[in-house]
Structure 1
Amino acid sequence: MTTMTQEHAAEQHSFEADVSRLLHMMVHSVYSDKDVFLRELISNAADACEKLRYEAISQPGLAADGAPSRILISLDEDKRTLTVEDNGIGMSREELVDALGTIARSGTRAFMERLEAAKANDKAELIGQFGVGFYSSFMVADRVDVVSRPAGQDQAWKWSSDGKGNYTISPVDPADAPARGTRVTLQLMEDAKSYTGKWAVERIIREQSGHVPVPIELVEKAGAEPAKVTDGVALWTKSRSDITKEEYNDFYRGVSGQYDEPLLNVHFRAEGRHEYTALAFVPGSLPFDLFDVERHGRMKLYVKRVFITDDADLLPRYLRFMRGIVDTADLPLNISREMIQESPILAAIRKGVTSRILTALEKQAEGDTENFEKIWELFGAILKEGIYDDFERRTQLLKLARFKTTASGEGHRSLADYVKDMKEGQSAIYYIAGTSLEQLNASPQLEGFRARGIEVLLLTDPVDSFWAPNVQDFEGKSFKSITQGLSDLDKVAGGENKEDRTAKPSDEVNAFVEFARETLKEEVAEVRVSSRLTESAVCLVASEQGPDRQLEKILQGAGRLSTASKPVLEINPQSKLIAGLASISETSAKEDAVWLLLDEARILDGDKPAHPRAFADRLSRLFEAAFPAKA
C-alpha cells in the first residue's frame, strides 16, 4: 500500500505480511539476547563504509571530502535514544524501501518456517543464528528512524516505523541529514533504557564489534566529545601470537552473524607467487542456511582491506560451512564480478585456502579427537560431498571421514580403523545406506555380517548413496553395498555355527524357492537362496548391475528415475518359517505365503506392501486357516 497526499509528502507503506509477522515474533518471543541489535547496526554501518571505499575507487567524487570512515554512536538518557551514524555510502529512497521494507525476498516464508521450528526448542538461541539484522532493533525500540543521504547526492530521505505493520518514507532537509551516510535513531522502550548508559554500550561494542575495520566512537551524552572505542584495525592483519581467544571469538561472531564459539580457526598468511591472508572459522553450531539449494559459501573477499564481495567462490561447496575472510593485495581494487569469476589468481588462492583448511582438520582429527568429533557431527555430511565432487582431494577426504559402524558404539570409526580390523579373506569395505541408524541396525541384510563379526559402515546421509558407489577403493579395498548383488561372505573367516550357515538346503526348500521364482517372476528379477540371512526369512537386494536400493529410492523421490528396477528376493534356507511354508501342499495357500514373504521383505526394507488390499486379504486367509471358526 502506498499513499501520497502531495508531491514530496510522506509516503506510507505496509510491510510484507511475513515481515510484519517476523517483527511481532521477535518482539514477543523470539530473541534470546537483546544486546545483539547493536552488533547488527554496527555491522551494517561498517558495510556501508566499506562499500563507499570500494565505489570511490572508480568514482572518487563520492568521497571527495576525504573524511576517513567512522561510526559514531550517540546516547541520550533524557530522550531515551540511541543513535548509530556512519559516513558510508548512504541509501536512496528506493534503496531504503528495498532494504528496510523486505526480508529475504526470495525465501521469506522458508525463513519464517525455519525460525518457528527453532522457536519450539526452548534452548535455541535464535538471534545471531538467523541473521535478522536491522530488524533486531525492534527488540528494544518503540520506533526506529533512519535518515540517509547517498554519497554524491543532495537529496536525503527518512524511513520511520514502529515495527507494527507500516513504515513511512519522506524527504528530509539535507541540513538535518548526514553529509553522506546513514543515521539510525532508536526510541528505546522503557525497559531498554539501560542502552543509554556508557559502560553498558561500550562493553557491547568491545565484546561484539571490536574488530570491524572501521573506527567506532561513542558520545555518552548530548554535548559531550566523541571518545574512540575501537581503532578499526583489522584483526587478520595481526600476528596470531598477538590475538587472544576472546578476540578471535568476537571477530568470528561479527563475520558469521552467529553467537556461538567457533570449534576451530585457521589463520595464516601466504607469501610467494601470490600473497594473501586468510582467517577462517569452523562454526560451533549449524548455520541456518547450510542446506540452501544454491550451496553458496560465506567467505568475504577483501582487496587491501577493502571489502569486495561475500559472493566470491573462495572455497569448494563442501566447505561452505566455513566463515571468515580472505584479504589479498594481488587483485586490482576495481575488480569486477566477471573478473572475479575468471581470475586465475583467485583460483590459486582458492586452492591454497582449501588445502590449509583440510590440513588443519587433519591435525584436529589426529591431535584433538574430541573436538574433531564435534566438527564431524555438525559438518560431516557436508564434507562427504567433497568425496563425490573433488576427485583431486578424494583420498584426503576419505582419511578425514568418520562413520557410524556396527562396531563403533557411541563414537565414530575412520576407514583406516576399519581396514586395520578387517577379517581374513575380506576384500571389500562393506556398507549399508538408509535413512536412520535404527532402520539400518534392524536390516536383515546385516545378519550374516554380524554372525561372522564383519564390520559394516552404517550410512544415513543422502550423499552417502552417491559417493560410495563411485569411489573405487581406499587403501586397495573396494566399497561394496551389502544390499546389492551376491554376497561373498563364505570367503570370509570368522563367526560361529559356520556348519549351519553352509549346510545345503533340503530338496523341499529348493522346490519352494523354485515355486516362489515362478510365482513372482513379474515382480522380482530373481528369487534365490541367501547366504547373508541368519535369522530373518527373507530380504530384498538390488541386482549386481542396478543401482543400490537406497540410491534408487532417492532418485525416484527426486523424480530422476521414473521406474524402479526389479529387486532380488533372497530366502533363508535355514529358517524354520521357510521350512514350514515349504511343506504346504495346497497351491493357493503356498502362493499366498510367497506373496506375503515378498511383502514382509518390502516392510523390512522400509517400504510398504505394493498392494495393501491384496496383502490384507492374504493375511486374513492365513489367519482363517490357522484359526478356523468353531462350529
Structure 2
Amino acid sequence: MTEKTVEKHNFDTDAKKILHLMIHSLYSNKEIFLRELISNASDATDKLRFKALSNDELYENDVNLRVRLSVDKEAGTLTIEDNGIGMSRDEVIDNLGTIAKSGTTDFFKQLSNDQSKDNQLIGQFGVGFYSSFIVADKVSVITRLAGADKSEAVLWESTGEGEYSIEGIEKESRGTVVTLHLRDEDREFLDDWRLREVIRKYSDHIGIPVEVLTTKCDEEGKKTDHDKWEKINKAQAIWIRSKSDITDVEYQEFYKHLSHDFVDPLLWSHNRVEGKNDYTSLLYIPSKAPWNMFNRDHKHGLKLYVQRVFIMDDASQFIPNYLRFIRGLIDSNDLPLNVSRELLQDNKVTQTLRNACTKRVLTMLERLANSNAEKYQIFWKEFGSVLKEGPAEDLSNRTNIASLLRFSSTNCDDSEQTISLADYVSRMKKEQDKIYFLTADSYQAAKTSPHLEQFKAKGIEVILMYERIDEWLMSYLLEFESKKFQAISKADLDLSKFEDDREKEKREDTEKAFESVVERTKAYLGERVKDVRTTLKLSETPAIVVTDGLDMGTQMAKLLAASGQQAPEVKYIFEINPEHVLVKKMSEEADEAIFGRWVEILFGQAMLAERGSLENPSQYLISVNQLLAKG
C-alpha cells in the first residue's frame, strides 16, 4: 500500500482567537459540546437520506441510519460515530479547517469583557464542532464520503493550538467518526450515566437512534453479557408528535438542535394543516439576532422536509426576506421527494406554504405584542429593523406589518421605540387627520430638530425616526387606519387647521411685510435653493430648510449615497423666521454685501441642522468671521 502523507495546516488568526476563547471556558455549560456533535451527526444522516433519493447505492447496503457513542476509559476517549453522508477531503478542509467561512472580524468587534454576553454571542456565531475543544485537548475525525472508495477516507486531527493535520487513510464504511481525547477534569463524560443524561436532555428529539455501547456486569463487576448498543433517545421526529405530548423544554432543545443557537427561543408555533395542502410547520422566533443578520451571506433558517425526509437547508422560498430571522422547518406531503430549488420557485404549493408561514409568523408577533409588551420589546430591539423592510416587500400584509412597528415620539423622554401607530392614532387631536413624523440621523438630532418647535407649541405628537431604513420605509408606508403620513420636514406641511383667526391674519401680514427681504434673499442664493419664504412655525430658530412634497428627502439621499448609488441633487426651500432677532437684524441691513453674509450664516445653520454638513464650509466661516470682525 502506498505510504500516506500527513499535511499540516494553520488556522487563520481569527480562528485561533475563537479556539482560544472556547478552550478557556467561554461556555459555562460544558455538556453542550455533545449536543452539537450529535446534531451534526444527525444532519449528516439527513443529507444522506436526501442524496439517496436519486442514488440509493449511497446506502452501501446499510440503510439503518444511526449515531453511536462509545468510550475508552483507559485511553480517556469519547467517540461519536455516524453512518451519514460523510465528507471528502476538500469538504473536510472547508468545514473543519475554516471557522465560519466569513465575517470573523465583525464577530470579534462585538465581543465585550462580559463573559455571559460573549457566551451568547459565540453561540449565535455558529461554531458547533469546535465546542469539542471545551472538553478535549485533542480531536480526531475520520470520515469517508458515501459512494467513495475506501481509500479516499481522511483523518483530520487538531489539538486546538492553531494548526491541524490531514492524512489520507482507508475506511471500510461511509460516515464520520469523531474521537475526543478528554482532559482529566472532563472525564465525567466517560461515565455511562452521564452520557445518557446529556442525550436525554438535549437529543431526545433526534429522528434517528442515538445509541450508547453498554456492558452488563454482575454485582462483583464482572461482565455477564457481550457489549451491545442501546438506544437512548425516542428517535421520533418531534414535529410529527402531538403538541400536547411535547414539553416546552423539548421544543427549546429542538430549536437549539436546528439553529445551533445556545439561547432559548423567544416563542414558537407548531402547526399541522390537513386538507387541500397537507403540511406541518414548526416555526421559532429567536431571542437574539444572529451577528450577520444584515450580511449578504446571511441564510434563511427554514429547513424543508418532504414526508419527513430532509430535502434542503436555507429554504428561502417559504419565508419572505423581511422575516429571515425565523428558524424552524416545514414538512410537506404535497411536494415531490426529488423537488429542487428551481422547481420550488414556480410551484403553487410553495406559494401556498409561503403565504401560510408568513401569516403564521405575523399572527405570532401580533399575539405577543398584545399579550406581553415587555417580551415584544425584546423582539423589537433584536429584529425591528428587519421587520421595517416588510411594507416594501409584502404589499398584501402591509397593514398587519404596520401594526407591529414601534417608534419613539415626542411623547417619550428617551430613544426607546415603544410607540405603536395605534398608540399614536389614539392620542391624535380631534381636528388632526394626519400622522406626523420626522426622520433624522440620530435620536438626538430628531429630538432637537427645529422642525418640532411649532408641534411642541401646539401640543401635537410627532413620531421620531432615526434609523437608516426609516426614510425608505416611509416611502412605502403611506397610511394607517385611513390616516395619511406627513413628513414635517416637507414644504407641503399645512397646520392652518390648528391656527385661530388671529394667527392666520398675522401670518398673512408677515408675508407681505417681508416680501422685499425674501426677494433679496432669493437674489443672493440664486440656484442654490428652490425657493425662499417666511415661516411662523419657528420659535427659537432663525431659519430652516425643507424639501418640496414630491422631492427626495435628506435621509433618503444619504441612504442612497451610503449604498454607493448616485442620488439626485436635493434642492431645498429656505424658510426664515421674521420674529427671530437675527432675521430682524438681517432685514434691517442696507449694505447688500453684509446682507449676503447674514444670509450665508442663516442658510448655513439651517443646512447644518438638516444635513449635518455644508457643501462649502469655508464660505460659511468667512461670513461668520466677517460679521464678527464688523461687530
> 2:266 & 2:158 partners in 1: Cα distance?
39
Q: How far off is 1:133 after superposition?
A: 2.2
**From 146, 155, 167, the counterpart of 2:141:** 146
- Structure 2 residue corresponding to 1:478, chosen from 457, 476, 484: 484
Indicate which of 203, 208, 211 corresponds to 2:205.
Answer: 211
Measured in 2, the distance between the counterparts of 1:267 and 1:306 equals: 18
The TM-score with structure 1 as length reference comes to 0.90
Cα distance change on mapping 1:621 and 1:9 into 2, 3 Å: same
Contact kept in structure 2, 1:73 and 1:82, CA below 8 Å: yes
> 1:547 Cα shift?
1.0
Deviation at 1:327, TM superposition (A): 0.8
Q: 2:167 aligns with which of 170, 182, 188?
A: 170
Alignment of 1:434-473 (within 5 A): 434-473=440-479
Aligned to 1:3: none
Residue 544 (str. 1) matches residue 549 (str. 2): yes
Q: Which residue of 2 aligns with 1:40?
A: 36
Please name the residue that 1:629 is paired with: none
Match of 1:302 in 2: 305
Mapped partners of 1:30, 1:590: distance in 2: 66
The alpha-carbon deviation at position 372 of structure 1 amounts to 2.3
Aligned partner of 2:329 in structure 1 is: 325
Query: Does 1:612 pair with 2:613?
Result: no
Letter aligned with residue 389 of structure 1 = E
Look up the equivalent residue of 1:290 and give its one-letter code: M
1:346 corresponding residue in structure 2: 350
| Structure 1 Cα separation of the partners of residues 55 and 533 of structure 2 | 76
Counterpart-to-counterpart distance in 1, 2:289 and 2:376: 15
Query: Relative to structure 2, which stretch is displaced further, 509-518 or 247-256?
Result: 509-518
Task: Spell out, residue by residue over 1:405-463, the C-alpha distance to the aligned partner (whole angstroms, 9 max, x if none).
Answer: 22245562222232233224323211111232221111111111221122212122333
Q: Residues of 2 paired with 1:546 and 1:364: CA distance?
A: 38
SS at match of 1:171: strand
Aligned to 1:556: 561
Which residue in 2 is equivalent to 1:83?
79
State the SS of the aligned residue for 2:252. helix
Contact residue 509 and residue 578 of structure 1 kept, 8 A: no
Q: Which shifted more, 212-221 or 266-275?
A: 212-221
Q: What value does the CA root-mean-square deviation take over the aligned residues?
A: 2.6
Distance in 1 (alpha carbons) for counterparts of 2:498 and 2:428: 10
Match among 527, 530, 542 for residue 525 of structure 1: 530
Count of aligned residue pairs for this structure pair: 614
Residue number among 165, 185, 194 corresponding to 2:188 in the alignment: 194
Q: Contact (CA 8 Å) 1:448, 1:489: kept in 2 or not?
A: no
Distance 1:191 1:598, change over 3 A: farther
Q: Write the letter of the residue equivalent to 1:580.
A: K
Q: Which runs of 4+ in 1 moved over 6 A?
A: 220-223
* Distance in 2 between residues matched to 1:578 and 1:198, nearest whole Å: 85
1:51 aligns with 2:47: yes
Q: Secondary structure of the equivalent of 1:302? A: strand
SS in 2 for 1:358: helix
Tell me, in whole angstroms, the C-alpha distance in 1 between the residues paired with 2:555 and 2:193. Answer: 58
Q: Deviations over 1:290-317 (max 9, x none)?
A: 2122554211111122211112211011
Output one character per residue of 1:274-299: Cα deviation in whole Å (capped at 9) or x when no partner. 11100111111112222122554211
Taking the aligned partners of 1:28 and 1:326, their CA distance within structure 2 comes to: 38
Take 2:580 and 2:197, find their aligned partners in 1: how far apart are those partners?
A: 72
The answer to whether the 8 A contact 2:264-2:287 is kept is yes
Which of 226-235 and 13-22 deviates more?
A: 13-22
User: Which residue is equivalent to 1:335?
Assistant: 339
CA distance in structure 2 between the partners assigned to 1:192 and 1:96 by the alignment: 27
Deviation per CA, 1:193-244: give whole Å up to 9, x if none.
3333344443333333332222212347898544332122111112222111
CA distance in 2 between partners of 1:117 and 1:217 (Å): 39
**Structure 1 CA distance for aligned equivalents of residues 607 and 572 of structure 2:** 10
- 1:8 aligned counterpart, secondary structure: coil
Percent identity, aligned pairs only, is 37
SS at match of 2:57: helix
Q: Secondary structure at the match of 2:9?
A: strand
Q: Which runs of 5 or more residues in structure 1 are unaligned?
A: 1-5, 627-631
Alignment deviations for residues 134-168 of structure 1 (CA, whole Å, 9 cap, x no partner) = 22222332211101122233233211122333322
Find the aligned partners of 1:562 and 1:414 in 2 and give their Cα distance: 31
1:113 aligned to which of 106, 110, 113: 106
Given the superposition, is the C-alpha separation of residues 235 and 408 from structure 1 closer, same or farther in structure 2, using an over 3 Å criterion?
A: farther
Deviates most, 417-426 or 47-56? 417-426
CA separation of 1:506 and 1:57: change in aligned 2, threshold 3 A: closer
Residue of structure 2 in register with 1:594 after alignment: 599
Instruction: Using the TM superposition, name which of 586-595 and 320-329 deviates more.
Output: 586-595
Deviation at residue 506 of structure 1 after TM alignment: 7.9
Q: Which residue of 2 aligns with 1:133?
A: 128
State the secondary structure of the residue aligned to 1:79.
coil
The amino acid that maps onto 1:300 is K
SS of alignment partner, residue 262 of structure 1: coil
Q: Write the distance in 1 (CA, Å) between the matches of 2:502 and 2:563.
A: 43
1:305–1:324: structure 2 CA closer, same or farther, 3 Å change rule? same
Contact 2:511 2:534 in 1 (8 A): no
> Is the alpha carbon distance of 1:501 and 1:171 closer, same or farther for their aligned partners in structure 2, counting shifts above 3 Å?
farther
| Matching of residues 332-481 of structure 1 within 5 Å | 332-408=336-412, 412-481=418-487
- Once the 2 structures are TM-superposed, how far is the Cα of residue 325 of structure 1 from its aligned partner? 0.8
1:190 partner amino acid:
D
Quote the Cα distance in structure 1 between the aligned partners of 2:309 and 2:569.
54
Name whichever of 264-273 and 329-338 sits farther off: 329-338
Contact 1:149 1:181 in 2 (8 A): yes
**d(CA) in 2 for partners of 1:94, 1:221:** 38
**1:257 maps to which of 248, 255, 260:** 260
Match of 2:131, as an amino acid?
S
Decide whether aligned partners of structure 1 residues 7 and 528 sit closer, same or farther in structure 2, where only a CA change above 3 A counts: farther
Task: Tell me whether 298-307 or 220-229 shows the greater mean CA deviation.
Answer: 220-229
2:481 is matched by which residue type in structure 1?
Answer: E
- Matched letter for residue 262 of structure 2: Y
Q: Distance in 2 between matches of 1:77 and 1:119?
A: 38
Distance 1:346 1:522 in 2: 54
Deviations 1:462-493 (A, max 9, x none): 33212312333222221121112232012236
Please tell me whether the aligned partners of residues 406 and 455 of structure 1 are also in contact (alpha carbons under 8 angstroms). Answer: yes
Go from structure 1 to structure 2 and tell me whether the alpha carbon gap of 1:224 and 1:338 turns closer, same or farther (over 3 Å shift). Answer: same
Amino acid across the alignment from 2:133: F
How far off is 1:521 after superposition? 1.6
Question: Which range moved further: 252-261 or 288-297?
Answer: 288-297
Q: CA deviation digits over 1:488-544, x for unaligned, max 9? A: 0122369x9958974743877543333222211232211211243222111121122
Question: CA 1:490/1:384 → structure 2, altered by over 3 Å: closer, same or farther?
Answer: same
**Distance verdict in 2 for CA 1:504–1:211, change over 3 Å:** farther
Structure 2 unmatched runs, 5+: 217-225
How far did 1:608 drift?
A: 2.0
